[in-house]
Chain A
């Protein structure tokens, strides 16, 4: 009985390890090929000109504080 449990646990453990490896595998390979920094999604996105241009219209909505009132007049 104990043996069986151990066996089951062993199997479950294997599955868990396999699942983790499936996720880690490609990531680890990626980390090897590129310097550590590339793991930053910030850098990946903000330095990708095409992606940033595609987001243009959304950007304006994210930065509403820069809209100017139409009622302003005269010189400041």
Chain B
């Protein structure tokens, strides 16, 4: 995403002044001196983001409930980051302190405040107004959510990972993050929640697909594997796995990270943490850029207890398909050891950390002999064509701010519509063809 022009970051659209929020004096939220015509002195004591770390003062008077819960949301506190790093850290007091300082330096910039979702683009992509300071009810998926979740979730969802199709919810229904992740979830109080997978307000597949968990689902597989195999094990496809991450500070005092290779993999593992909300024995596991040397720049052996937590972690890839390579036939999965996280997939130094996730031979489901493939392996029969047909006609429209959408329909044909929402490239225009490298 190209950064905005400098002026776009501070130019307040005059129409903002006429909105409810614009009628409040600037200084009520930002401080500063509105009577002072001198730019420098007028800005003394200015608060850039009046909604972080606490939005009570700026928003709480009118949005009391949201302000009081959101300050304890994961987007505000990033509490699990701290927990995970502390669990892995060397417990020597001097070293632990250095690790905590490094974590604060590198991780705290990722928080999202009310302003970062509803008013500005995230600072992570150099900020700037979403729309001339106008408060946006629905954050824009392509700018707001994609800025921070772009590397993994958003790429999976929109099909930006070569060879891998976009999520069915996006490709066929044009759904956005907010269709499943509601304001209620985004604003919810996460006090005491261990990880982002344990938030009570998180979406569940069966909320919208009640047939799958009903008495008599129309698909057999849903009856057979209920509560044993997570939905994504059958319905998701390959996703990014990372390795070797190191962070540091350069000679200008700017922070940086360096990560190793990324690999597209699909690995079924044993659920490391079975709960009532996630009773499955089998889940999808991913290798995040976890590395014992993460903080070496700041302190040696900082993550002395690195093995305390697994390095293959629960994942819920956002590239759901009805038919996938592994569920197309029972035996694409049953008896197919390559799909499962085996001891040999885990590097020597990570073995100890991953004993719970690795699938022992005896736990690889045995082949089944009397079931034909659900669909022949023929892409033309695929229910979710990743490309518009060759004879498609296109039209473009502006969707959310700075973003275009392609609509492709066949000329004189059945009039099928394939919506593609794609962010502008750095020349300010959508790429000519959505998924051509």
Contact = CB atoms under 8 A, between A and B. Distances in A.
Contact of B34 (A39, A53, A63, A76): A39
Given A42-B32, A66-B126, A75 B259 contact: yes
Nearest to A68: B254
A42 B39 contact: no
Given A71-B256, A75-B262, A41 B151 contact: no
B6 A60 contact: yes
B254 A47 contact: no
B335 interface: no
Contacts of B34: 39-43
Given A40-B26, A60-B6, A66 B12 contact: no
Given A39-B35, A47-B17, A71 B10 contact: no
Contact of B258 (A41, A55, A66, A71): A71
Given A43-B26, A56-B6, A59-B7, A71 B42 contact: no
Nearest to B258: A73
A16 interface: no
B25 interface: yes
A16 to B, nearest CB: 22
Given A41-B35, A73-B258, A75-B242, A52 B25 contact: no
Contacts of A49: 7, 11
A46 B11 contact: yes
A39 B27 CA distance: 13
B250 interface: yes
Interface in A57-74: 57, 59-60, 63, 65-74
Contact of A56 (B7, B36, B240): B7
A45 B12 CA distance: 9
Interface in B209-253: 240, 242, 245, 248-250, 252
Contacts of B252: 67, 69
Nearest to A40: B34
A6 interface: no
Contacts of A72: 256-258
A6 B232 CA distance: 93
